[in-house]
């Protein structure tokens, strides 16, 4: 029975895409089962109770719910400690807090995965008041190899004098492969071989619960992410986390609040229940997002477009990039995604000058939580290589419908054909 007015040709193609996806879906279901048990065990081991869902106000002294939430996240993420707070305004804020907490004037931050994501470049650049450069922190990078993989020899040649080696797990606005846990481990080994005391930090955004372990298991000292991505499960209203070595997490907490007080202060208000419930739902939400990503890659590959990664390739984050070929195609795709959103489906996305980016960006995101990229969303800078970056999908049936509406939008405008 039809609900949306998809063309018969698109329906037939989607059925073929589903058949292609089934082996990969089985693997994703297995991962969700494993990670779901891992999350449940963290709740059980930390004896979470109804009282921990209640928030505090004022200074937040003695907030046991806040402290237990840190412990739950630390166990799930394989870390000694964690700093999970609703007052991280986004992933970039959490990353910035960690960078300023751990680096000092004269230190060298070395990005070992090339140029960081657009918004992080503003944090390290001298072009913006209050950047790391303003505070005397030096920056350098080791570019990826032409095939998008790490330059291990280049890392060894440059990492000997750095205070921090910075890894970006996800692809950002590039078509390079996202990093598997295995690859992150090899990067850590390369850094340690020439600089055993170096702090290794991983921007873990979009990658949590996609594999069986996190970067902390293979040598990363500190990992950082957002709660309106994977670990919020589509339920946390805002926030982020920093997790890793206890001494490093403490330094980050001093930056977030004040030296000496650190994690001991900060009211949780009414945010605890959403953060607990979000991390509990996260394995299934991540699985749905991954299935949506795999289906999108399969469908658009059948339509003749390049997908990064391909539908049958191993995934280490929830993002897929589809190379669509031009501005009109990007806009039509995003209009289709928006039309299939549960919130603001009637809106028409338009390119705009988004802060932190060097070109106009079009974004489609009709989400229950503003900017939540665990919910189905798409964004594309209007520049070469004219690719759209797709992420999220709280449930697979709605994610699949959104992808098909994006394809139908392109077909209706004569910008694609089957």
Contacts of 144 (CB under 8 A, 6+ apart): 113, 114, 150, 151, 176
pTM of the prediction?
A: 0.95
Find the mean pLDDT for residues 303-328: 96
Best CA proximity match to 100, nearest among 259, 231, 226: 259
Best CA proximity match to 203, nearest among 177, 175, 236, 240: 240
Q: Could you tell me which CATH number the domain at 54-276 has?
A: 3.40.640.10
Are 288 and 320 in contact by the 8 Å Cβ rule? The answer is no
**Mean pLDDT, the chain, whole residue set:** 96
Domain range 8-36+280-412, CATH class: alpha beta
pLDDT in tens, 19-42: 999 999 999 999 999 999 999 999
Confidence of residue 221 (pLDDT cuts 50, 70, 90): very high
pLDDT in tens, 230-288: 999 999 999 999 999 999 999 999 999 999 999 999 999 999 999 999 999 999 999 99
Between the alpha carbon of residue 403 and those of residues 6, 86, 210, 264, 387, the distances in Å are 11, 31, 21, 45, 15
pLDDT in tens, 88-121: 999 999 999 999 999 999 999 999 999 998 789 8
**Domain definitions of the chain by residue range:** 8-36+280-412, 54-276
């Amino acid at each position: 029975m039809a609900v949306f007015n998809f063309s018969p040709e698109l329906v037939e193609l989607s059925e073929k895409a589903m058949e292609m996806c089934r082996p990969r879906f089985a693997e994703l279901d297995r991962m969700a089962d494993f990670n779901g048990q891992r999350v449940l065990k963290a709740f059980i081991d930390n004896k979470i109770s109804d009282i921990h869902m209640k928030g505090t106000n004022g200074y937040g002294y003695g907030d046991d719910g806040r402290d237990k939430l840190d412990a739950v996240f630390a166990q799930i993420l394989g870390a000694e400690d964690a700093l999970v707070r609703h007052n991280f305004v986004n992933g970039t804020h959490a990353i910035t807090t960690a960078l300023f907490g751990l680096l000092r004037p004269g230190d060298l931050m070395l990005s070992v995965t090339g140029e960081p994501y657009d918004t992080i470049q503003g944090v390290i650049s001298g072009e913006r008041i209050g950047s790391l450069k303003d505070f005397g922190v030096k920056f350098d990078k080791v570019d990826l190899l032409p095939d998008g993989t790490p330059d291990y020899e280049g890392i060894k040649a440059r990492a000997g004098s750095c205070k921090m080696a910075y890894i970006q797990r996800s692809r950002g606005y590039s078509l390079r492969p996202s990093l598997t846990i295995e690859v992150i481990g090899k990067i850590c080994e390369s850094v340690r071989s020439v600089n055993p005391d170096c702090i290794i930090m991983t921007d873990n955004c979009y990658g949590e619960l996609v594999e069986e372990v996190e970067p902390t298991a293979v040598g990363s000292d500190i990992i950082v992410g957002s709660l309106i991505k994977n670990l919020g499960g589509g339920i946390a209203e805002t926030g982020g986390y920093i997790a890793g070595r206890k001494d490093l997490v403490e330094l980050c907490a001093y930056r977030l609040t004040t030296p000496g007080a650190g994690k001991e202060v900060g009211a949780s208000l009414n945010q605890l229940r959403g953060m607990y419930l979000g991390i509990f739902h996260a394995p299934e939400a991540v699985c749905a997002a991954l299935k949506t990503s795999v289906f999108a890659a399969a469908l658009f590959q059948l339509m003749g477009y390049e997908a990064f990664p391909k539908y049958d390739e191993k995934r280490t984050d929830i993002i897929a990039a589809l190379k669509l070929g031009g501005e009109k195609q990007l806009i039509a795709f995003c209009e289709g995604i928006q039309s299939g959103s549960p919130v603001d489906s009637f809106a028409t996305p338009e390119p705009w000058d988004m802060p932190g980016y060097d070109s106009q960006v079009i974004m489609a995101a009709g989400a229950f939580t503003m900017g939540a990229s665990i919910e189905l969303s798409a964004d594309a800078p209007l520049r070469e290589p004219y690719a759209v970056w797709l992420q999220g999908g709280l449930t697979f049936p709605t994610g699949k419908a959104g992808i098909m509406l994006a394809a139908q939008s392109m077909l209706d405008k004569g910008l694609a054909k089957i």
